Amino acid sequence: NAGVTQTPKFQVLKTGQSMTLQCAQDMNHEYMSWYRQDPGMGLRLIHYSVGAGITDQGEVPNGYNVSRSTTEDFPLRLLSAAPSQTSVYFCASSSWTGSGGANVLTFGAGSRLTVL
């Protein structure tokens, strides 16, 4: 099993450019999410999804878009990159069965993004 695969691992962008961070999981997990990690700020939730066709905002959604057209994929789009979006991004997934279920997140290896 590949688990959670994030691409690219490293990316440098110029201010105003757009890009998509890809996230794919092969565990048939319902729940997928994106976090950014900044020094002293911990992991902050950007967007999450509890199933295909369902997405919701996390703590810091501004400047990011997501969609969930399939169970496997949960891409994160930066529409117009800003230096404040320089960070390490983690995608994670877990099984989720609504109010009765919760499972352990499986994290991707992270994507380091630098916006100049």
Partner 1 sequence: AQKVTQAQTEISVVEKEDVTLDCVYETRDTTYYLFWYKQPPSGELVFLIRRNSFDEQNEISGRYSWNFQKSTSSFNFTITASQVVDSAVYFCAFLSGNTGKLIFGQGTTLQVKP
Could you give the string, one character per residue 12-41, with x where binding to partner 1 holds by CB under 8 A and - elsewhere? -------------------x-x-x----xx
Cβ 53 to partner 1 shortest distance, Å:
14
Instruction: Return the residues of window 45-64 that contact partner 1 according to CB under 8 A.
Output: 45, 48, 50, 56, 58-59
DSSP 83: G
Would you count residue 42 as binding partner 1 (CB under 8 A)? yes
Would you count residue 96 as binding partner 1 (CB under 8 A)? yes
Q: How many residues sit in the footprint of partner 1 (CB under 8 A)?
A: 26
By C-beta, is 12 or 102 nearer to partner 1? 102
Most distant pair of Cα atoms in the chain: their distance: 44
The amino acid occupying position 69 is S
**Residue 91 to residue 24: CA distance in whole angstroms:** 9
Do residues 48 and 58 lie in contact, with contact meaning Cβ atoms separated by under 8 Å? yes
Do residues 4 and 93 lie in contact, with contact meaning Cβ atoms separated by under 8 Å? yes
